[in-house]
Amino acid sequence: MQQSLTIGTRGSPLALYQAYLVQRLLVEKTGMTPDQFPVKILKTSGDRLKGHLSAFGGKGLFTKELEEALVTGEIDLAVHSMKDVPTVGQDSLEITAILEREDPRDAFISKKYERLADLPKGALVGTASIRRRAQLSAMRPDIKFDLLRGNVGTRLQKLSDGVCDATFLACAGLKRLEQEHEITEIIDTDRMLPAPAQGAIGIETRKADTSATALIKPLNCKATELAITAERAFLRALDGSCRTPIAALAVWDGETMVFKGEVIAKDGSARFSNADQMPLSSTIEAYDFGYRLGEAVKQAAGPHIDWDE
């Protein structure tokens, strides 16, 4: 019997869904039992903090404790939403597999209005995403915003309680939680480009743990891996954190990658984008492609974007 591998995860309903999805896939691939892939819940800094995450350091807040548990051997693999994973990680760890991506688009949700276009002047939108705030401000400078944090259920309840007129959530999370019925309107990516890596689940392991790597690698989706690599390289070129509104989406069809990325001023007053396509087949090529596009956007944006606030 092979040794068991402990799966580390956050405790939100969506995080638990993702962890048990990985457990189920491992059971299917290996023929081992669920007991050999126990799930361990860890509380992260991002779960404990209130207010804007950017004030406390940004992206790593949802992965730091999971990675520390990996390094110490408390867990053997960590399951992450890839949009939460910093572009620079610990040298001893690696993202071993990225599962097939779910719908990367944003969902507009309202109890009062059927479409984003129906929001009246001065409507109040609840969101913690500075990307969504900036994109919506570029479209509708009259919109007002309120901080809305918490897991999917918490935010939907606050919307039902009338805290705000509308909010946005990722389609991927709603679909995984079988809450698609909550979606009022799906926003096409030509209107709101998603966050880099939105909708993708990553599995992180210790580089030295070759047995875990051998079990996890077969779960990797190459098309998703290449797309996420390019998007994260774009983010890396822009020194992206949750302090800067950055969006990107790459799609690889088996031969050619199509990419679009942008950075937006926080108030929506300026936006700089880049789009291109090229044939590629490796993660190195995907990384170089995304990074090059990111460098071009950063050079164009220059002093017009506040990078370090």
Residues assigned a catalytic role: 84
What is the 8-class DSSP label of residue 55? G
- Among 273, 254, 257, smallest CA distance to 265 is for 273
Q: What is the phi-psi region of residue 160: left when phi exceeds 0, alpha when psi lies from -120 to 50, beta otherwise?
A: alpha
Distance CA 16, CA 14 (A): 5
Distance CA 189, CA 250 (A): 11
Contact 236, 294 (CB under 8 A): yes
Q: Give burial (CB, 10 Å; 0-12/13-18/19+) of 159.
A: buried
**Residue 87 phi, psi dihedral angles, 5° rounding:** -75, -15
What six digits make up the tokens of 287?
């990384």
Residue with tokens 């998007």: 231
Distance CA 300, CA 294 (A): 10
